[in-house]
Amino acid sequence: METIFFVLIIFIASVLQTSTGFGFSILATPFLLLIFQPMEAIQINLVLSLVISCALIIKIQKDLDIGILKRFIIGSLPGLLLGIYIFLAIQINSLKLAVSIIILLLTVLLMCKWRLRQSNKRDLIVGGLSGTLTTSIGMPGPPLLLYFSGTDTTKETLRATTLGYYLFIYSASLAVQVLFASTNQTVWLSSLLALPIVAAGLITGQLMFKKMSAGFFRLLTYILLLFTGIYLLLESIA
């Protein structure tokens, strides 16, 4: 049963990642935590997310916003170290509770048509938050998703820029996780077994992206954020 559950998680999350630029970590990490230990779940997520980003970025690099990408990366550097400290020092349920409240609050603001103007300083702050969440719970997506959803960024630029950023943040986070939290055979064997499922999700997600309207893309964004916030909230108080 766990094997079937694992296959479904990876396939659906891969489809969402390919079609939106965000979905894998947001969907996969909470469910992987039901099957694996926290360290294993986070590292499997990091490995597979890195594979997806590498596979997609070549085709969509023309849509990258290099300026924003550089600021995200610079801002994420202190966040990476803060995140691994949080992972090692703070109870995981407390972290889940804090993150869930922030995600739900900001999602409600976005659904009420709240908008945030993009700026260089905010790019750095969002990069820092994303870096912190990547090494602590393996989920860099929520800060970026909330930030871009509040601006007028096109779905093409959003997807390409986040995937470009993920190439860096997932590589760096995986290195920090292995260095400070160690790793094991389960992480690498599970990741290897998941590769064919990821490939199927990539193909399906690419087809979905071509047919996705801006309105549906925005709706899917809200659903992902609400799902993640509610799920993390329930997990933290269970």
| Domain ranges within the chain, ordered by starting residue | 2-237
Give the per-residue pLDDT at 20.
Answer: 66
Residue 200, classified by CB atoms within 10 Å of its CB into exposed (0-12), middle (13-18) or buried (19+), is middle
pTM of the model: 0.79
Summarize pLDDT for 101-117 with one digit per residue, the tens: 877 877 787 778 766 67
Give the per-residue pLDDT at 38.
Answer: 83
Of the candidates 107, 94, 110, which has an alpha carbon nearest to the alpha carbon of residue 230?
107
Q: Which residues contact 61 (CB under 8 A, 6 or more apart)?
A: 160, 164
Give the per-residue pLDDT at 214.
Answer: 64
Do residues 106 and 58 lie in contact, with contact meaning Cβ atoms separated by under 8 Å?
Answer: no
Cα–Cα distance measured from residue 141 to residue 38, given in angstroms and rounded to the nearest whole number: 18
Summarize pLDDT for 65-123 with one digit per residue, the tens: 889 899 999 999 999 999 998 888 877 778 778 778 877 877 787 778 766 678 889 99
Q: What residues of the chain score a pLDDT lower than 70?
A: 20-23, 114-116, 150, 212, 214, 217
Give the per-residue pLDDT at 2.
Answer: 79
Phi, psi of 203 (to 5 degrees): -65, -45
Give the per-residue pLDDT at 115.
Answer: 67
Give the per-residue pLDDT at 58.
Answer: 76
Cα–Cα distance measured from residue 70 to residue 23, given in angstroms and rounded to the nearest whole number: 22
Give the per-residue pLDDT at 137.
Answer: 80
Percent of the chain with pLDDT over 90: 22
